[in-house]
Amino acid sequence: MKDFQLGEFEEIVILTVGILNQSAYSVAIKDEIEARLSRTVSMGALHTALKRLEDKGYLKSASGEATEERAGRPRRYFEITALGKKAMQHAKDTRDELWNAIPKTIWQANLAGI
């Protein structure tokens, strides 16, 4: 289903929003991805992915309370929408289907050579 297509980084971002739950704002998302995947994430790439996911209807965002540490600017918190959950399930099902289609002998042959 083309309606539920997620790019690799989009999938990582939406999964991380799910992991962080109500604490999902851009810096926390970036830190979580970097910690879990040992992968550097630029804020520009992250903001682009968050905007794309919102534009697709997979995420919604809301402003939190303004804080002194942010010079009075509020954090923007992200939440997965019902459509986003469907997209995540579609991505998981598709990957599982592909993984399950790989013959077991492929794994046995490759692992034996390691």
Domain CATH code at residue 106: 1.10.10.10
pLDDT in tens, 76-101: 999 999 999 999 999 999 999 999 99
Write the CB contacts of 17 (distance below 8 Å, at least 6 apart in sequence).
24, 29, 59, 78, 79, 80
Read off the pLDDT of residues 20-76 as tens digits, 9 standing for 90 and up: 999 999 999 999 999 999 999 999 999 999 999 999 999 999 998 767 676 667 889
Does the structure show a pLDDT above 70 at 113? no
Domain count, the chain: 1
| 76 beta partners | 63
Burial of 10 by CB count in 10 Å (0-12 exposed, 13-18 middle, 19+ buried)?
buried
Q: Token pair 């998302």 is at which residue?
A: 29
Instruction: Please state, in angstroms and rounded to a whole number, the distance separating the CA atoms of residues 71 and 60.
Output: 24
What pLDDT, on the 0 to 100 scale, is given for residue 85? 96
Does this model's pTM top 0.75? My answer is yes
pLDDT at 64: 81
Domain range for 77: 2-112
